[in-house]
Amino acid sequence: MLKRILIGLFFAMSLQQVSAHSDTVQVRDVVIRAMPAGMTTTAAYMVISNDSHDAKELVSVESPLAGNIEIHESVMNDGVMSMQKMDSLLLPAESKVELNPEGLHLMMLNLTQDLEEGDFHEITLMFADGSEKKAVATVQRVVPKAKHEHTGTIDKSTSTE
Ligand SMILES: [Cu+2]
């Protein structure tokens, strides 16, 4: 466990040095949902803050963990939850956008390895202006819920625990 923490710290520190491209975008609480071995798809959640005076547009996401990553939005249609793929995610100027199990999330497809709780994985967010932001995600079995709890109905219908 200690080794994992040290590796994670080293990861985070080394990333800070190379992430000068987009200091106006901060990414926090990056979590990948742990899945049983053999599963090839999972979701990732995080909080993205755009502290600049300009809007930013997230256009793609990459990680060695996944063959491809899509931006998804969960929507309720006649009481049925479904997911829609988005071409991009707009981050208005001076805004904070939360990706959580009740709404926006990243869909990680064609996973290249099994997901072990406590593991760290690097992900890179790429923006329309050519800048990018690297972040370290931790794999967790229990994913934090949304901080704004006004969509409780979706929460119940998607619980798998
Ligand atoms: Cu999805």
pLDDT in tens, 2-48: 666 666 666 666 555 444 456 799 999 999 999 999 999 999 999 99
Residue 153 domain-assigned (yes or no): no
In a domain, 148, yes or no: no
CA of 43 to the centre of ligand 1 (A): 7
Better-scored residue on pLDDT, 146 or 120:
120
- Asked if residue 36 is part of any domain, the answer here is yes
Q: Does some domain include residue 138?
A: yes
User: Which has the higher per-residue pLDDT, 12 or 95?
Assistant: 95
Specify the CATH number for the domain of residue 127: 2.60.40.1890
Residue 11 belongs to domain spanning: 2-143
Residue 99 resides in a domain: yes
Within a domain: 66: yes
Kind of pairing between the strands at 56-62 and 120-127: antiparallel
Cα–Cα distance, 26 to 14 (Å, whole number): 16
pLDDT of 149 strictly over 80 = no
Distance from the alpha carbon of residue 107 to the mean position of ligand 1, in angstroms: 5
Q: Cα torsion at 147, 148, 150, 156 (round to 10°)? A: -10
What percent of the chain is modeled with pLDDT above 70? 76
- Decide if 91 is inside a domain: yes
pLDDT of residue 145: 77
Q: What is the pTM of this model?
A: 0.77
| Spacing, Cα 2 to ligand 1 middle (Å) | 33
Q: Is residue 90 part of a domain?
A: yes
Question: Across residues 118-143, what is the average pLDDT?
Answer: 95
The closest of 45, 37, 7 to 115, measured between CA atoms, is: 37
Across 76-80, average pLDDT = 88
> Distance from the CA of 6 to the center of ligand 1, in angstroms?
31
Query: How many domains does the chain fold into?
Result: 1
C-alpha 53 – ligand 1 centre gap (Å):
30
Residue bearing the bigger pLDDT, 8 or 128: 128
* Mean pLDDT of the region 74-103: 93
